[in-house]
Amino acid sequence: MQQTVRLTVAQALTQFLDHQYIRFDGQVTKFVDGVATIFGHGIVLGLGQALDSNPGGLQYYQGKNEQGMAHMAAGYAKQQNRRKIIAVASSIGPGAANMVTAAACASVNNIPLLLLPGDAFASRQPDPVLQQLEQEHDDSITTNDAFRPVCKYWARVNRPEQLMSAMLHAMRVLIDPAITGAVCVALPQDVQGEAYDWPVEFLAKRVHKLPRAVPAPEDLEEALALITAAERPLVICGGGVRYSEAGRAMTDFCEAFHIPFAETQAGKSAAPGSNAYNLGGIGVTGNSAANEIAKRADLVISVGSRLSDFTTSSKWLFGDDCKFLNINVSLFHAQKMDASYCVGDAKETLQRLTLALPLDYKSAWGGAIAEAKAAWQDEMRQLAAYHYSENFRTIVQAQNPGSIADFIRDLGGTLTQTEALCAVRQAIAADAVVVGASGSLPGDMQRMWETDASGSYHMEYGYSCMGYEIAATLGCKLAQPGRECYAMVGDGSFLMLHSELVTAIQEGKKINVVVFDNAGFGCINNLQMGNGVGNLGTEFRRRGDDGQLSGAMLHIDYAGIGEALGAAGFRACNMRELQAALEAAKQETRCTVIDMKVLPKTMTEGYGSWWNCGVSEVNLSEKGEAALERVLEGRQKARQY
Q: Is residue 617 part of a domain?
A: no
Q: How much is the pLDDT for 71?
A: 98
Confidence of residue 538 (pLDDT cuts 50, 70, 90): very high
Give me the mean pLDDT over the 172-192 stretch: 98
Domain check: are 170 and 272 in the same one?
no
Write down which residue in 161, 176, 209 finishes a domain: 209
SS3 call for 487: strand
Count of CB atoms situated within 10 Å of the CB of 546: 8
Give me the mean pLDDT over the 503-516 stretch: 98
169: domain CATH number is 3.40.50.970
Q: Is residue 490 part of a domain?
A: yes
Residues near 516 by beta carbon (within 8 Å), at least 6 away in sequence: 417, 420, 439, 441, 488, 489, 490, 491, 596, 598
- State yes or no: pLDDT of 610 exceeds 90: yes
Write down which residue in 209, 243, 269 finishes a domain: 209
Q: Is residue 311 part of a domain?
A: yes
Domain check: are 389 and 372 in the same one?
no
Domain check: are 426 and 294 in the same one?
no
Q: How much is the pLDDT for 312?
A: 97
Confidence of residue 531 (pLDDT cuts 50, 70, 90): confident
Sheet holding 27-30, edge to edge: 27-30, 20-24, 206-209
Q: Is residue 321 part of a domain?
A: yes
CA angle 293, 614, 308 (to 5 degrees): 40
Compare 48 and 401 and report the one with higher pLDDT. Answer: 48
Domain check: are 327 and 425 in the same one?
no
Q: How much is the pLDDT for 619?
A: 80
Q: How much is the pLDDT for 391?
A: 65
Within 541-614, residue ranges assigned H as helices are 558-565, 575-587
Buried b (16+ CB within 10 A) or exposed e, 388-403: beeebeeebbeebeeb
Q: How much is the pLDDT for 534?
A: 85
Compare 393 and 526 and report the one with higher pLDDT. Answer: 526
Round to whole Å and give the CA distance between 290 and 607.
Answer: 9
Domain check: are 405 and 359 in the same one?
no
Domain check: are 336 and 437 in the same one?
no
Rg for the chain (alpha carbons), in Å?
A: 26
Q: How much is the pLDDT for 396?
A: 60
Confidence of residue 329 (pLDDT cuts 50, 70, 90): very high
Q: Is residue 602 part of a domain?
A: no
Q: How much is the pLDDT for 400?
A: 61
Q: Annotate 319-352 with DSSP letters as a single string.
A: -TT-EEEEEES-HHHHTGGG-EEEES-HHHHHHH
Beta strand 261-263 with 278-281: parallel, antiparallel or unpaired?
parallel
Q: How much is the pLDDT for 397?
A: 57
Residue pLDDT, tens place only, 97-142: 999 999 999 999 999 999 999 999 999 999 999 999 999 999 999 9
Domain check: are 227 and 179 in the same one?
no
Q: Find the Cα–Cα–Cα–Cα dihedral 579, 585, 586, 587, rounded to 10°.
A: 120
Domain check: are 434 and 363 in the same one?
no
Q: Is residue 369 part of a domain?
A: yes
Beta strand 195-199 with 4-8: parallel, antiparallel or unpaired?
antiparallel
Count of CB atoms situated within 10 Å of the CB of 564: 10
Going by C-alpha positions, the residue among 391, 451, 593, 627 that lies closest to residue 512 is 593
- State yes or no: pLDDT of 404 exceeds 90: no
Q: How much is the pLDDT for 24?
A: 97
Give me the mean pLDDT over the 226-243 stretch: 98
Round to whole Å and give the CA distance between 570 and 592.
Answer: 8
CB 261 within 8 Å of CB 327: no
Residue pLDDT, tens place only, 558-599: 999 999 999 999 999 999 999 999 999 999 999 999 999 999
Round to whole Å and give the CA distance between 152 and 107.
Answer: 7
DSSP state of 143: G
Residue pLDDT, tens place only, 438-483: 999 999 999 999 999 999 999 999 999 999 999 999 999 999 999 9
Quote the crossing angle between the two packed helices 522-530 and 622-637, to the nearest 10°.
90
The domain total for the chain is 3
Q: Annotate 175-214 with DSSP letters as a single string.
A: H-TTT--EEEEEEEHHHHT-EEEEEHHHHS-EEEE-PPPP
Q: Is residue 633 part of a domain?
A: no
Domain check: are 415 and 544 in the same one?
yes
Domain check: are 235 and 333 in the same one?
yes
Write down which residue in 376, 407, 438 finishes a domain: 376
Domain check: are 241 and 131 in the same one?
no
Q: How much is the pLDDT for 401?
A: 57
Confidence of residue 394 (pLDDT cuts 50, 70, 90): low
343: domain CATH number is 3.40.50.1220
Domain check: are 259 and 158 in the same one?
no
Give me the mean pLDDT over the 416-426 stretch: 97
Round to whole Å and give the CA distance between 78 and 71.
Answer: 10
Give me the mean pLDDT over the 56-70 stretch: 98
Show the domain range for 347: 217-376
Q: Is residue 484 part of a domain?
A: yes
Round to whole Å and give the CA distance between 162 and 122.
Answer: 12
